[in-house]
Amino acid sequence: MENEKVRIGFYALTSCYGCQLQFAMMDEIIQLLDKAKIECWFMLDRDSSEDREVDIAFIEGSVSTQEEVELVKKIREKAKIVVAVGSCAVHGGVQSWGKDKELSELWKTVYGDAHVKFEPKMAEPVEKYIKVDYKIYGCPPEKKDFLYALGTFLVGSWPEDIDYPVCVECRLRGNPCILIEKGEPCLGPVTVAGCDARCPGFNVACIGCRGAVGYDVAWFDSLALEFKKKGLTKEEILERMKIFNAHNPKLEEMVNKIFGEGE
Amino acid sequence: MYIPITVDHIARVEGKGGIEIVTSDEGVKEVKLNIIEGPRFFEAITIGKKLEEALAIYPRVCSFCSAAHKLTAVEAAEKAIGFTPRPEIQDLRDLLYIGDMIESHALHLYLLVLPDYLGYSNPLAMVDKYRKEIEYAMTLKNIGSKIMDYLGSRAIHQENAILGGFGKLPTKAQFEELKKELKEALPLAEYTVELFSKLEQYEEVTDDEMVHMAVKPRNGVYGIYGDYIKVSDGFEFPVEDYKKHIVEKVVEHSFAKHSFYKGKPFMVGAISRIVNNADLLYGKAKELYTQYKDLLRYNNCFANNFAQAIELVYFIERAIDLIDDTLAKWPVKERDEVELKDGFGVSITEAPRGLLVYALEVKDGRVNYADIITPTAMNLAIMERHVRMMAEKHWQDDPEKLKLLAEMAVRAYDPCISCSVHVVRL
């Protein structure tokens, strides 16, 4: 029977460990034990190794050191399916918010002239270095994101991506629109759904933690126009949209369009 | 020829760190806690950013204590802009913070620490034989998470804690539901104390020079917020003076700095809170404290586990009291308007693993200066000293045994390594 179990690895790059914590905190994880064998999960298991072959590799965290570049390559070699989990692995995480500054400047601000024997680099998404087969969005992802992905993998199927924004879920919940009615800089219109509009449900504007809707349907330009009408500057708009989308290749181009540049 | 004893990746802690022990014929030559988690530069990336956006980012320093980061940053920001929250709001922030405390302590004790004592490599392997304990862990964890879900929007990275109060408060029925579940969880917390009283052994590390630092709780109630820091040597200082008494240094083998008080390492955490503030405990926790006083040893880092178990009982009782206070004042207004004036504020609170410092300067509605010191950054120096003491005792033993004991010493601190990496400006 042992051989029939799906071999799972959970690997951490640079992150807050929230995606793993969310995964570990699911009561359902106990039910998983009959079906899966954990080969690597340092947060929970001392008997972990990054050198073992796995069927599914979950990777959380952004690539932020040279060692992590090597690690993701190794994981790719040993895994059948690689899943990037959470905003760090998928989008580079909030640590990429400082991407416009030089790494040396960030280093100097925090560490001064001090030397550390490891080599840091600017935070990047996992996809920059290896092929990623599936992405689980969120900071952190919802439990149902994990259950859905795992469930489909375990029955030999494949999870579907969500291709609509948080606004859809906000409307379904009947929340008042924070952007239109309260005039706050809500990123719901460009952010991939799946959280059941969690923050707007608490009267808090979306900060885009699940990242931009894929398939080039995140209309940064339309939203930037709306923000511009409310008096936000281009810099303010970019800053907010970059909290979780600093590596998005379309973002600046689309926002620039609204401010009459790069046409 | 001696091969260094290394643990590349310490398991069952938050974040990525390793242990390196080098021995020679005479004994232990070198002991290092290598902190290899990549840097995230939180202070640097939030400088110049809008205050509200920076406050949304700070909890991302750490998942195990995201509410602690959020609420400490919010308090520092409010002090900076000259805003004081209403007492009802402060009570609810305490409650949200306690949710984090309960969840974090339950996870640490049952899932991260217990497997070592019972001879397992991971908690899931314990399910067959110790199903009850795992279920207790999940129930205790769940009530902590639920408090954070209801008051903070979710258990990790709470967005519903903002300047001036909350976006939206739970309903009265939700508070009643929390209270009912907290009452049901109380016996499980008491069981945790019993369980750990049987497991704890303290002969390994005895450090009589150990100094403990903790918040002197505001309003004389054992808890999280305070305006002064108490040191177990009898010294007290206002939180604003933290830089004079918590001195950080960069060490080469770590992306996280080490901290010193009067030139020496010190400890923060549950045991440090109890060492400094045990007289403020009340209720069932006070009874258990009195009963098990001998296990709460100031000179042994392993006592931190047991102190967390006592705190689980305390914080559940405290949460029930805070809900009663809130319901007595119902309806409570969720938020007051704030004005983003310029200024500087320092907040130091008790995160699950000890003192957490946020110092923020606000200018034109933006963060002009940010300094964060986390509990693990404070504990790293003393943690390294205690791993050394463990190595000095066991350097001739089987390396596997030494590895496990060294890891257990580190785990007793409940380190949050991700947290510790990003530290302050020099």
Q: What is the pLDDT of residue A1?
A: 42
Q: In Å, how far is B415's CA from the nearest CA of chain A?
A: 12
User: B278: closest CA among B303, B245, B260, B302?
Assistant: B303
Residues on chain B touching A109 (C-beta within 8 angstroms):
41, 43-44, 47, 425
Which tokens belong to B108? Answer: 């640490």
Cβ atoms of A12 and B413 closer than 8 Å:
no
* Residue contact B53–A209, C-beta within 8 A: no
Amino acid, single-letter form, for residue A193: A
pLDDT over 70 (residue B176): yes
Which of A111-115, A223-227, B158-162, B198-202 comes out lowest in average pLDDT?
A111-115
- List alpha helices for chain A, DSSP H: 18-24, 29-32, 66-78, 86-91, 103-111, 143-154, 166-173, 220-229, 234-242, 251-258
Query: Chain-wide mean pLDDT for chain B?
Result: 93
Q: How far is B416 from chain A (nearest CA, A)?
A: 9
Which residues lie closer than 8 Å to B305 by C-beta, 6 or more apart? B108, B109, B113, B196, B200, B412
Q: Write out chain B residues lying below 8 Å of A207, CB-based.
A: 53, 56, 159
Beta-carbon separation of A30 and B66 below 8 A:
no
Q: Which of B403, B412, B406 is nearest to B389 (CA)?
A: B406
Q: Which of the pair, A194 or A31, is modelled with greater confidence?
A: A194
Element (H, E) at B247: strand B247-249
B36: nearest Cα among B252, B188, B215: B252
Question: Nearest by CB to A202, which of B37, B62, B160?
Answer: B160
Q: Whats the size of chain A, residue-wise?
A: 263
Instruction: Write the residue in A45, A106, A207 that is nearest to B121 by C-beta.
Output: A45
Residue A34's nearest CA partner among A80, A81, A1 is A1
Contact A65 B36 (CB under 8 A): yes
Prediction ipTM score:
0.94
Best residue of A119, A121, A199, A204 to probe chain B, by most B CBs closer than 10 Å? A204
* Residues whose CB is less than 8 angstroms from the CB of residue A119 and which lie 6 or more positions away in sequence, other chains included: A65, A66, A67
Q: What's the rounded Cα separation, in Å, for the pair A196 and B270?
A: 36
pLDDT for A253: 94
- For A211, phi and psi rounded to 5 degrees? 85, 170
Q: pLDDT by residue (tens digit) across A56-106?
A: 999 999 999 888 999 999 999 999 999 999 999 999 999 999 888 888 887
Residues of A in contact with B45 (CB under 8 A): 94-95, 97-98, 101, 106
Contact B232, B207 (CB under 8 A): no
Chain A residues within an 8 Å CB radius of B46: 97
Token code pair at residue B185 = 């969880």
Chain A positions in Cβ-Cβ contact with residue B41 (cut-off 8 Å): 95, 98, 106-107, 109-110
Taking the CA of residue B175 as centre, how many other CA atoms within 13 Å lie in the half-sphere pointing to its CB?
A: 21
